[in-house]
Structure 1
Amino acid sequence: MKRIKDKGFILLTILAFIILTMLNRVMVTAQFFNPGMNLYYEPFGIRINAWLGDLGLLSVLVGLFLLLFKNKKYFILSVLGLGIGLSVLVFSLKIYQFYYGTAFSFFNARTFSNSAPVLGQQLTIHLWRNLFRMGQYIALIPAFAFIYIGVQLFTRKPFKDNPNWQDSARKRRFALSALLMGLMMSTFSQVVYYNHINNTFYEEHRNALKGVQTMGIYNYYLVDLINYTVIPQPEPVLETKPDLKAEVDAYIDNAKQSCPLNYESNPSCVNGELTGIFEGKKLVIFQLEAMNNYLINLSVNVDGTDYEIMPFMNSIANSNETLYYDHFYSNFGVGKTSDAEFAGLTGLYPTGQIVTYFDYLAENFETIPSLFKEQGYTTYGVNGSNESFYKRFINYELLGFDEFVPAERLLAENYYDPEINVINGWVDDTVIFDYVTDVLQKDEDQFIFALSTVSHTPYFDVEGITGVNVWENTIERDLGNYFDFNRRFDIVFEAFFQELENLGILEDTVFIMYGDHTGNMTMSDLEQIYPELTHQEFQELSHNVPFMIYAPGMDLSQYDLNTSMVRGQADIKRTVSNLFNLNEVYHFGVDITSNNRSYTYNPMTLDLFTDDYHMIVPMLYVSNSDYQEQAQTIADWFLEYKLINDAILKYRYFDNP
C-alpha cells in the first residue's frame, strides 16, 4: 500500500467498512449462496428497503465512533474491529442457516442449550468444512481485508505526526450528519418492515428470515436483540385477540367432529375397514434419525452391479405385511428431532421458529401415549440421548410416558459400555434395540416409542462403518458416509427383528417406522444420484421421509389403499388411534390409511405439499404450473391455517381448553 495521507487512510477505512460489510450481507440474502433455504420473493422496493436499513445502521455506527474517539488510530481500530465482528457474524449465520435451513433469531437461541458436547463439536467441524467446500468462506473475506488494513495501520503509522483530529468541529458535524442520516434510514426501514407485515401472518408469527430480507441483516438483528433482552415480552393471551380466538375455537370444534372437514371442506373420516385391526397388539414406533425416503429401494451401480443401500428396509417396504407410504413428509422446525416427535405424538405442527419442547409443551395435550394409558397400556419412551436433551426428562412425562429410558438409565441398568457402545457421541442403536427386545418380552400391553440416533449428522469416519462398502469410490463426500451409516443401521435393524422372531414374539407387535428429518445432504451431494437437481426437487427430497406400518403375520395387501397420497408426521396420531381403536377426542390431520386428500408442510422452511403440487411458500413457487397463477391465494390460505395451529401452541390453548 503506497503512502496515503491521513484523510485518505481514514476515508479508505470508512469506505472499505461500508462497502465490504454491505456486500457481505448478500451471503445471507441471496439464493445463490443459500441453496438449501427458501428465501422470500420480495418486490424490488422491499429489497431496497433492506439495503437502506443496513446502510443506515452502519452509518450510525461510523458516526458514533467519530464522536467517541478523538484519536484517529482508535477510531480506525474500532471500525476495523466492528467490521471483523460483522464478518464473523455473517459467517456464523451461515453456519446456523446451513444446519437449520432458516435464519437465526435470538428468540430461538435456546436451541443451543441442549447438552450434547460431542455433537456440538462435530457439527461445528462439519459445518465449517462444508461451508468452505461450498465457497461460503467468501463471508470471511471482509475480515481479512480489515485485518490487512489494521496491519498497515501499525506498520506504516499514518497518524504518527497528527494522532488526533485538528478540526474537531468539522469532524463533529460530519459525525452528527452520518449519525442523523443513518438513524433516519434505519428507522425508515423499520417502519416499512412493520407496515409490510401489518395484518399479515408475520405480524403474529415472528420470522427472522422475513425480517432479515425486509429490514436488513444488521438492522434486524439489532432490533431482534433489543426485543429479546430489553423489551418485556407479555404473556400471550388469546382472549385479547377475539378474531383469532374465534378461528382457533372453530378449528378445535371441527377437529372434535368424527369426520372433520379437510382443507377442501370435504369430510375426512377414518378408514372404517381398518378400525381396530391392531387392537390388543403391542405397538412400537421407531422414529429413525435423519432417514430420507430416497434411501428406500435405492441402489448404487458399481462396475455394472447394483448394490442396495438398505436391503432389509427394502424388504420390509415391499412386503405384503407392510403399508409403505412414499409421499410422507417431515413436519419439523428448529427443534429438529424433538419437533418431529411432537408432531407425531400430538397431531399438531410445531411453529417452526421456536423449539416446542422448550417453550410450548404442557401436560394436557392429547397424545398417543396418553391415549394408550387410558387403555391400560404401559408406555415407554426410549432413546440414546442424555435425559436433559430437549428437556425430555420433563417433557416425556408431560407427553404421557410411564417410563422414560434415556442414556443414563441404560447405563445404570448395564445395557452398554460407554467405552465401546458409543458412536459419534450417541449410544449405539444396538443398545436401544436390546432394551426394546427385553421390554417386549414382558407380559403386559405396551406402547414403546424409540429413537434411533447413530445416523445423526455429521457423518464422520467411523471404523467398521464408513469406507467398508463397495460404493466407497463411487459416492463421494458426506453422501458416501451417509450411505455407510444407513447401511450399518440396516444391518443392526435386521438383527433386531431376527432376534424377535427367534424369541417367538415378532407377530405380537405392530411396528410403525418413519424418518424424523433430512440427512442434511447438500445439493452438490445429491447431484451424484440426481443429476440436474433443481431447488424445488432438492427441497422435496430433503423433506420426504419414509413411513411404514409393519404388521408381521398380517397380510395388509388385501386392503385397497392408495399409499402414494401426501401424508405427514402430524397424521400419525389419528392413524394410530384408528388402527388401535383408541378414544381420541381431537382428530387432527387425517388417517393415513384413508383415501382422504390432505396437505402437510414443513413449519420451518414453509414447504407445502398436497397431492396436486409442492409449493415453496416464501418464493411463491408451485411445482404444478396449473396452480402458479393461484400462488398468492394458496399462500394466504396456507398461512391462515398455520396461524391457527401456531396459536394453539403460542397461546397455550390446552391449558384452558
Structure 2
Amino acid sequence: MKKITKNLLNFMSTRLGFVLTLLVLYWIKTMWAYTIDFNLDIQGFYQVFLAIINPFPISLLLLGLALYVKRTKLFYSLAFGIYLLLFAWLVSNSIYYREFSDFVTVNTMLASSSVSAGLGEAALELFRPWDILYLIDFPILAFLFFKKYIRMDDRPFNKRASFAVTSLSAMLFSANLFLAEIDRPELLSRGFSNYYVVRALGLPAFLGYSANQTYTANRERSKASEKDLEPVTEYIQSHYAEPNPEYYGIAKGRNVIYVHLESFQQFLIDYKLQADGKEYEVTPFLNSLYHSNSTLAFSNVFNQVKAGKTSDAETMIETGLFGLNQGSFMVNYGGTNTQQAAPFILSKNGGYTSAVFHGNTGSFWNRNTAYKQWGYNYFFDASYFTKQDDTNSFQYGLNDKIMLKDSIKYLEHLQQPFYAKYITVSNHYPYTTSLIGDEIGFPLAKTKDETINGYFATANYLDSSVKALFDYLKESGLYDNSIIVLYGDHFGISQTRNPNLAPLVGKTSETWSNYDNAMMQRVPYMVVVPGMDKGKIIDTYAGQVDMLPTLEHLLGIDSKNYLQVGQDMLSTQHQQITAFRSSNNFVTPKYTSFNGRTYYTQTGEEITNPDETIKKELDEIRNAANTQLKMSDAIQTGDLIRFYKGNDLGKVNPKDYSYLNSMKALLAIEKEKGDQSTSLYSKRGNVSTVDLFNSPSYRALHPEQFQTSSSDEDSSQENSSSSSSSSTANP
C-alpha cells in the first residue's frame, strides 16, 4: 500500500500527473453536482455513460493548455487558475440551479443585475452544508505541497506530448458529441433544453453553446432599429382582418383554458381503427366536442412549426408570430426579447391571472424564462406534481391523467378570470412507452412501423384524459364561465413514416404524394363555448399563427394594434393563405405548394405545366406567404416590439415573475383579498374540489373488453385441460 501511495504521489509530482489530478478532482465534483444538485433526468445506461464521460473532453483541453508553458511557477499558476475557473463555473451553476432550476447562461451573466435581483440577500441561504465537499480538495492539496509529498516539476513538458493531449481532448469531444447526437438528434441545432446539453456534453461545453446562442441572437438584435418597424406596421395594418360581429365578444370575461393536444393530427377526429374484425373509435370524446353545437371546430387548420416543434406552436398561439426557420424561438430569444403575448394582453384587458401546467421539467424549451417574457404569473412544472417514476411517467414527463389531477389543487386557487394552459405529453413519440398497467388495452394498429402502431392507443389515452378534465370542469362549476380551446401542436407521424400509414387512411403507399404529406399537417382547433348554440364545423383554411387574433376577438379584444401577423379565422376578411414555416410552401383552398410540388387542393392533382394565369396566381400567393414569414422574422429576430408604441400595453418586466413557491403566493393573494377573492376555492366557501377530478383507466372504462379476454383465456385453459385428460385416458 505504501508503495502504491508513493508511486501515486510521484506521478502527481510530474506536470502531466498534476494536470490529470486536477482533471479527476473536477470530474468527482461534477459527478457530485449531477447527483445531488442537478435534476438531469438521466434515464438508461446510455445517458449515464454520457454523463460520466462528458466532464473530461473540455476540461482536459483547458487544463492541458498549461502543459505548453515552460516556466515552472507559471505552469502551476496557470493550471491551478484554470482549475479554479472550472470549479467556480461548476459551483455557481449548482447554487444558481437551486434558485432557478436552470443553468447559468451567457445572457444571465450579461444581465447580472437581474440575476442579483433574483438571488438578492437570500443568496447565502442557497448554500448547503454539503457544499463543503466542493472545497475539501483545496486544503488537502495545500497540505501535500506544504509537506512536499507533492513537489513542483521543473522539467518542461514535451511540446509534441502537449499537442497530443490537446488532440486527445479534441477527439474525446468529437466522440462525446457524436454519442450525444445519437441519444438526442439535432441536440445543438434545435436547442431542446439547457439540461439536455449539460447532460450530454457537460457544463464547460454548455458555456460555449450558450455563448454561441447569445452571439447569434445579439448580432441580429443589434442590427435592428426603430426604422425597421415601419414596413412591419404597414404590413400589420394592411393585413388586419376585422372581427366578425356575430362572434366578437361572445366569451368576454370568461376563463380561458387551453388544452395542448400533443402530436395530435386532424385525421384522428372521427377515425375508427379496424382491429380483429372490430371498429374502435380512437377519440370518442374529442369527436363529440368536434360535432357539438357549443364548439367552433375548424377542419382545415395546419401546423406551421419547424425545428422548434412544440415550442413553435406555443410561440404562435401566444404571440401571433412564427417561430424561427432554424432552431427554437423560445430557446434562442424567449428569455430576452420583449413580447406582447396572450397572458400579458389578457392581464391588461380584463385582469386575467395566467398559469401553465406541464408535467415535464421547467427548463425544457426554455419555458421557465420564456414564460416570464410572455407575462405568465405562474408555471407549474414537474417540480409541483407527483414524483416521477417508471409507473407514472416516461421520458417526456408525467402522464396526463396524473398531471391533470395534480393540477387541480393549484387551479382552484387561481383568481378568476384566469388564462390557463395545459400541456399534455402522453401522446408523444415514440407512442410505445407512456402507457402501462390498466391503461393498456386499446388495440395497436398492424403496420410495419411500431411508432404508427402505438399512435392510436396513446391518442385514445389523451382523449380520455381530456374527458376527465371536462368532467371536472362541469362538476366544479368552472365550465359554464369558461371557454376551452383545444389545439394540436404538430404532426405525430412524420413524412418518412406516412407511406406506412397510408393504408390506414384509405391511401396506398405507392401513390402517396407530397400533397398527402401537406394534408397530414392539419391539426385540430376547437373553441368550446358552453351555452353557445351556434357552433359548427368551419372549413376556413388557416394556421396556428391565426389562433391568437381569433381568441382575442372572441374575448372582445381588438387585435388591430398588436404586432401579430395572423388573422381572425372567423373574420370574413380572413385571406385563407396559410404559410408553412419553410419558404415557398403554402396551402390555400385552391392551391397547395409543398416540398417543391404544386397541387390543386380540392383534388390533389399535381400541377406540372401551369398556364400564365395559374403562374400569376401562384406567384401572388407565394409572395403573400413569404412576406408574412419575412415580417414575423423581422419582429422576432430584431426584437422590434421593444420599439413599438402603437398600443398602451407597456412592456413586460420579467423580474416581476417568480415560479418558486407558487402555492404559497396563491394562498397569500386569497388571504389578502378575503371576501373579494374570486378563486374557485373561495367561491365554494374554502372547500376544495380536488376530489371531484376522476380519471378512470382504460380497463375501468372498457370492462367488457377484458371480461371477453378473460373468458377466452378460461375457455382456452378448460379446453387444454380437457384435451390433456383425454390424452391421458386414451394413450
2:586 pairs with 1:608: yes
Tell me what 2:405 maps to: 434
> How far did 1:290 drift?
0.4
1:569 aligns with 2:544: yes
Q: Does 1:542 align with 2:517?
A: no
1:266-305 mapped onto 2 (5 Å cutoff): 268-302=241-275, 305=278
1:133-179: CA deviation from partner (whole Å, max 9, x where unpaired):
xxxxxxxxxxxxxxxxxxxxxxxxxxxxxxxxxxxxxxxxxxxxxxx
Letter in 1 for 2:633: D
Matched ranges for 1:41-440 at <5 A: 108=189, 110-111=191-192, 113=194, 115=196, 235-236=218-219, 248-255=229-236, 260-262=237-239, 268-302=241-275, 305-361=278-334, 362=336, 364-374=338-348, 375-411=350-386, 418=389, 420-440=391-411
Alpha-carbon distance change, 248 to 544 in structure 1, aligned in 2, over 3 angstroms: farther
1:621 match: 598
- Who is 1:532 aligned against? 508
Shift of 1:368: 0.8
**TM-score under structure 2 length normalisation:** 0.54
Matched-pair identity in %: 20
Distance 1:535 1:94 in 2: 30
- Kindly provide the amino acid, as one letter, of the partner of residue 455 in structure 1: N
Rg (Cα) greater in structure: 2
Change (3 A) 1:253 1:435: farther
Once the two structures are superposed, what CA deviation does each residue of 1:602-649 show, in whole Å capped at 9, x if it has no partner? 315863122222212x51534454676344564455334322221211
With over 3 angstroms needed to count, the CA separation of the structure-2 counterparts of 1:620 and 1:483, relative to structure 1, is closer
Distance 1:601 1:636, change over 3 A: closer
1:248-269 deviations in whole A, cap 9, x for unaligned? Answer: 52332442xxxx434xxxx621
Distance 2:586 2:527 in 1: 24
Contact 2:311–2:330, Cα closer than 8 Å, also in 1? yes
Aligned pair 1:500/2:473, yes or no?
yes
Aligned-partner Cα distance in 1 for 2:216–2:471: 54
C-alpha displacement of 1:422: 1.5
Secondary structure (helix, strand or coil) at the match of 1:307 reads: strand
Match of 1:455 in 2: 427
Could you tell me whether the CA contact under 8 Å between 1:621 and 1:628 is conserved in 2? no
- 1:651 matched to 2:628: no
Q: CA deviation at 1:512?
A: 0.1
TM-score (norm 1): 0.60
1:283 touches 1:448 (CA, 8 Å); kept in 2? yes
Superposed CA offset, 1:238-257 (max 9, x none): 79689xx86752332442xx
Q: 1:385 to 1:641 in 2, by over 3 A?
A: same
Measure, in 1, the Cα distance between the counterparts of 2:270 and 2:241. 31
TM-aligned CA distance change 1:500 to 1:637, over 3 Å: closer
Amino acid of the structure 2 residue aligned with 1:349:
F
Other structure's SS at 2:264 match: coil
CA contact (8 A) 2:591 2:598 kept: no
How many Å separate the matches in 1 of 2:262 and 2:269? Answer: 14
Task: Give the AA of the match of 1:428.
Answer: N
CA distance in 1, matches of 2:183, 2:589: 34
Render the CA deviation track for 1:2-30: whole Å, top value 9, x for unaligned. Answer: xxxxxxxxxxxxxxxxxxxxxxxxxxxxx
CA contact (8 A) 1:384 1:427 kept: yes
1:597 counterpart letter in structure 2: Q
8 A Cα contact 1:517 1:545, kept in partner:
yes
**Structure 1 residue aligned with 2:460:** 487
Give the unaligned 5+ runs of structure 1: 1-81, 121-224
Q: Is 1:588 aligned to residue 574 of structure 2? A: no
Amino acid at match of 1:381: V
Determine the C-alpha separation between the residues in 2 that align with 1:268 and 1:360: 28
Q: Distance in 2 between matches of 1:279 and 1:543?
A: 31
Where 2:321 maps in the other structure, the secondary structure is coil
Q: Contact 2:294–2:532 (CA<8 Å) still a contact in 1?
A: yes
1-side partners of 2:385 and 2:527: how far apart? 27
User: Post-superposition shift, 1:538?
Assistant: 3.5
Tell me by how many angstroms 1:655 deviates: 2.3
CA distance in 1, matches of 2:389, 2:318: 30
State how far apart, in whole Å, the 1-side matches of 2:475 and 2:557 are.
30
Aligned-partner Cα distance in 2 for 1:386–1:112 = 9
RMSD: 3.8
Q: Against the structure 1 CA distance between its residues 116 and 317, is the aligned structure 2 distance closer, same or farther, given a 3 Å change threshold?
A: farther
Q: Report the CA distance between 1:524 and its aligned residue.
A: 2.9
